Chain A
Amino acid sequence: MGEQALVGHVSDPAAPEEPHQNSTNLAVSLRDIRITFADRSGQSYTAIADADLDVRDGEFVAIVGPTGCGKSTLLNVAAGLLNPSAGRCAIFGNQLKGLNRKAGYLFQADALMPWKTALENVAIALEVNGTPAAKARERAVEWLGRVGLSAFTGRYPHQLSGGQRKRVALAQVLILDPKILLMDEPFGPLDAQTRTLMGELLLDLWSRDRKAVMFVTHDLEEAISLADRVVVMAAGPESRIIGDFNVGLERPRDPAEVRHTAEFGTIHKEIWQILKKEVIKAYATEDEA
């Protein structure tokens, strides 16, 4: 495949030539990751084959790819929720064993504890990590304010809208101040307007301390409008990373406004050419099955 080594806009001077030499600067370093599942009939299915991905400290990387290509699976490896069948995963230069303690994870599905109020959901994150209850609640109130939910601290998740629940989840993850933020199509279930607003909120919060971010999405526009780098994954099975593009759009950005710039259009076109083939391939395999 010709596009295997395709790298767009290799102009970032901070990019290390040989990632291993400077591996402590890498928040996440995935090498030769292979994921094989055994399906029900006993046959093995290789979801990801030989995927390499580096995320530098402070870098916002979006991962796009057709449905079912293993984007979330790769994220779960970085989170330590899933052990790769082969390959290595290093976090800030250290081999990852067990759960990734340096990472916060924002899930696609509702992950809040439905029996706790918004405030309790956020405060518990600190409490289980040793913060006294009173202090934890105080900080939780502060964080709920930051995500615009000051008036909803006493609500249970079912009393909140989808977007509000995502905000609570975001506060719950960010209150622990993780060095790495893993996001699995976090705004996927939301409507278009809410998604845009959530993107804005996310960039605003991120710009304060620039954590390393791995942001999985199937929405290319969302990926480009938020990220420093967009990584494209091939259609499964045996998915790999087949494209890596730097997004040169200046920061701070307004993710809604930036979509109308000419630069955005150029990058979008470039990535879409690669992505489109994979989406078509994914449809083809889906039809076979």
Chain B
Amino acid sequence: MNRNKILFLRVLTAIGMLVSWHVLTTVPAPNKPLLDPFFFSTPLDVLERTAGDIVTYQMWYDLYITLLETALAFFIGVVSGIALGFWFARRELLAAVMDPFVQAANALPRVVLAPIFALWFGLGIWSKVALGVTLVFFIVFFNVYQGVREVSPTVLANARMLGMNDRHLLRHVYLPSAMSWVFSSLHTSVGFALIGAVVGEYLGSAAGLGYRIAQAEGVFDVTGVFSGMLVLMIFVVLIDGLVTVCERRLLVWRPTAAATRTT
């Protein structure tokens, strides 16, 4: 497929959507627009509001808070997921006993925990971090567990025949294998960390992107809600791009579908 053609069609689609939104909310048909701008805002209003907000100190402070919560949730979730994943994978009895509890905890919709965390950790960043951690932890935990248990028996036997002790095996065999699973779920876990932060802010906070959206919603300011969503979207796309770059660097050893091989 022609890349330029795809790009062209994408731009065309975006323009098409924006123009129809604009037409539906501004052009009288016949005496008032089809969609009420009070409920649907207009693309130009949203852009104008966003452009106005982006230069304010408050916007950058909110971005910073959300980013901080996301990062903390991600790192705490990843570290605890790796530690417990390893521990469970190496202790079969522990894994067998705990299995139903882990499954039950994972089955719980995490949003219902938000009020509890707000009570426990207050309305500051830590209740949001806790919510993000409960989301990230399970993804990483299950991936590490799988990664450790699915090390190729041949690779393991070979490593032992080469003289590796338990510490060597952990460092050169189990950890890289588990990390490859963690990295392959990096997009999901970063995404979940962000969901934890924003949902937490939305349900009760004094700063952050979720807080902005909740505030705007509270005064029926639809333009403000859309503007908050737009900023959030740009923010997520940027973080996701960053993750992709990290992933490419970290998983360079992994075969890709189009890997070329020279014989």
Q: Which residues of A contact B (CB under 8 A)?
A: 79, 81, 99-101, 103-105, 107, 109-117, 124-125, 128-129, 156-161, 163-164, 169, 172-173, 176
Contact = CB atoms under 8 A, between A and B. Distances in A.
B13 interface: no
Contacts of B261: 158-161
9 contacts: A81-B160, A99-B160, A105-B157, A125-B163, A128-B162, A128-B164, A158-B255, A160-B261, A161-B262
A111 B157 contact: yes
Given A128-B164, A176-B163, A107 B157 contact: yes
B103 interface: no
Contacts of B155: 110-114
A116 B157 contact: no
Interface of A is mostly: loop
B158 interface: yes
Nearest to A106: B158
Contacts, number: 78
Interface stretch (B22-30, B81-89, B172-180, B211-219): B172-180
A236 to B, nearest CB: 21
A81 B162 CA distance: 12
Given A115-B180, A158-B259, A160-B261, A105 B158 contact: yes
A161 B164 CA distance: 26
Interface string B145-156: 000000010110
Contacts of B162: 124-125, 128-129, 172-173, 176
A117 B157 CA distance: 19
Interface string B168-200: 100011001100100000000000000000000
Contact of B157 (A81, A104, A110): A81
Given A113-B155, A158-B254, A159-B262, 15 more contacts: A81-B161, A103-B161, A107-B154, A107-B158, A112-B155, A114-B254, A116-B253, A124-B162, A128-B172, A158-B253, A158-B261, A159-B261, A160-B261, A161-B263, A172-B162
A156 B255 CA distance: 9
A101 B253 contact: no
The 8 closest A-B pairs by CB, nearest first: A111-B158, A158-B255, A115-B176, A156-B253, A161-B263, A105-B161, A109-B154, A125-B162
A104 B252 contact: no
B232 interface: no
Nearest to A80: B161
B159 interface: yes
Interface of B: 152, 154-155, 157-165, 168, 172-173, 176-177, 180, 252-255, 259, 261-263
A98 B46 CA distance: 71
Nearest to B158: A111
A159 B261 CA distance: 5
A173 B158 CA distance: 9
A113 B154 CA distance: 10
A116 B162 CA distance: 15
A172 B157 CA distance: 14
Contacts of B152: 109-111
A115 B253 contact: yes
Among A101, A115, A164, residue most surrounded by chain B Cβ atoms (within 10 Å): A115
B194 to A, nearest CB: 28
Nearest to A163: B263
A99 B161 contact: yes
Contact of A113 (B157, B163, B173, B262): B173
Nearest to A162: B263
A187 to B, nearest CB: 16
Given A113-B172, A115-B176, A158-B255, A79 B161 contact: yes
Nearest to B259: A158
B37 to A, nearest CB: 55
Contacts of A129: 162-163
Contacts of B177: 115
Contacts of B172: 113, 116, 124, 128
Nearest to B177: A115
Given A99-B161, A158-B255, A160-B261, A128 B168 contact: yes
A124 B176 CA distance: 14
A113 B176 contact: yes
A99 B164 CA distance: 11
